[in-house]
Amino acid sequence: MTLAERFGDRVQVSESWGERTVDVAASDWIELLTFCRDTGYEFFDWLSGVDEPPDAFGVVAHVYNPSTHERLLLRTRVPRADPRLPSAVGVYRGANWHERETFEMFGVIFDDHPYLVPLLLPDGFEGHPLRKDFVLAARVAKAWPGAKEPGESGHGAPSRRKTLPPGVPADWPSPSTSTGPAAPPIPGEQTAPASTAERPEPSAGPGEPAPPSAGSAAERPAPAAGSGESPPSGSTSPERLDAPGSPSTSAASPSTPAGAGEAASSGESSSQSSKSRAPLEEPDG
């Protein structure tokens, strides 16, 4: 006996990608499951819900025939105002915890279920998280660290547009305008170092000379010899750095005898002066 012969116009059968889908009313749900089980679809795979706003919830079950390797997707709908459906535990025992999960996630009540209590959520949890009207308030109260767009986590460059996370109504404030407590720093995240212009000037410790300021005489390069430039007024001349008691900048190296540099320079100057005083000889006629 086929589905069309058993249910007539009460069933709608469609096929997509090699898999058949069967839709019936909620009043024919248990009869459809029983018929599928008795015709070889003995393996119960899963059962879940679908939020179909604004007026209904869908309940979907997937069963398998081990002999023919065929699959069936069974579907029905319940009204949103009173989402009730007979339990399938009497037909497929494996539907027990699937119905419990659908009950707590979508709010669909399965009549005659042996133990219809929450399966995953903690005690005292209010609401049904997989409903499309469930408000994900945690995404507003605390910035989401897994943002993919720059600026959505409260740091980095601003994004091109500001949108609320999925599941948050449009009238809720965004994380940037929320007045709640600030989110704790993300572990392992490093803040950008301050720019050079914002860094404070180093201060001298007790008993240490003050560091030179930008553009001081100690940082200005000395004028090159023979350039004709004179040191600026109020600054220390390079020659005065060799005052008694201070280390000389022109100290001879250990391999050079003392006075050798001065003798060489004096000899060069006398040679140049003698050449300048020698008369020019006229070429023989």
pLDDT tens for residues 188-246? 555 555 455 455 555 555 665 655 555 554 455 555 555 555 555 544 444 444 445 54
Residues 18 and 105 in one domain: yes
Structure tokens given for 149 = 């767009």
Q: Is residue 220 part of a domain?
A: no
Whole-prediction pTM: 0.52
Q: Is residue 202 part of a domain?
A: no
Residues 76 and 155 in one domain: no
Instruction: Give pLDDT tens digits for 119-140.
Output: 998 988 889 999 998 887 766 6
Q: Is residue 98 part of a domain?
A: yes
Structure tokens given for 284 = 């023989």
User: Which residues pair with residue 76 across a beta bridge?
Assistant: 59
Q: Is residue 151 part of a domain?
A: yes
Domain boundary among 156, 175, 194: 175
Q: With pLDDT > 90 as the criterion, what percentage of the chain qualifies?
A: 40
Q: What is the rounded CA–CA span in Å between residue 130 and residue 110?
A: 17
Query: How far does CA 112 lie from the centroid of its chain?
Result: 47
Q: Is residue 235 part of a domain?
A: no
Q: Is residue 42 part of a domain?
A: yes
Residues 62 and 103 in one domain: yes
Residues 170 and 80 in one domain: no
Q: What is the rounded CA–CA span in Å between residue 202 and residue 215?
A: 16
List, as one string, the DSSP characters of 74-113.
EEEEEESSS-EEE-STTT-GGGHHHHHHHHHHH--EEET-
Residues 86 and 44 in one domain: yes
Instruction: Give pLDDT tens digits for 240-282.
Output: 444 455 444 444 444 444 554 554 455 555 555 555 554 555 5
**Counting beta carbons within 10 angstroms of the beta carbon of residue 70, is it exposed (0 to 12), middle (13 to 18) or buried (19 or more)?**
middle
Q: Is residue 21 part of a domain?
A: yes
Residues 104 and 161 in one domain: no
Residues 19 and 106 in one domain: yes
The residue behind tokens 């001081």 is: 216
The domain tally of the chain equals 2
Residues 79 and 165 in one domain: no
Residues 45 and 142 in one domain: no
Residue 158 sits in which domain range? 135-175
Residues 44 and 104 in one domain: yes
Residues 100 and 47 in one domain: yes
The residue behind tokens 């535990």 is: 89
Q: Is residue 223 part of a domain?
A: no
CATH of the domain at 41: 3.30.460.80
Structure tokens given for 23 = 């839709």
pLDDT confidence bin for 22, thresholds 50/70/90: very high
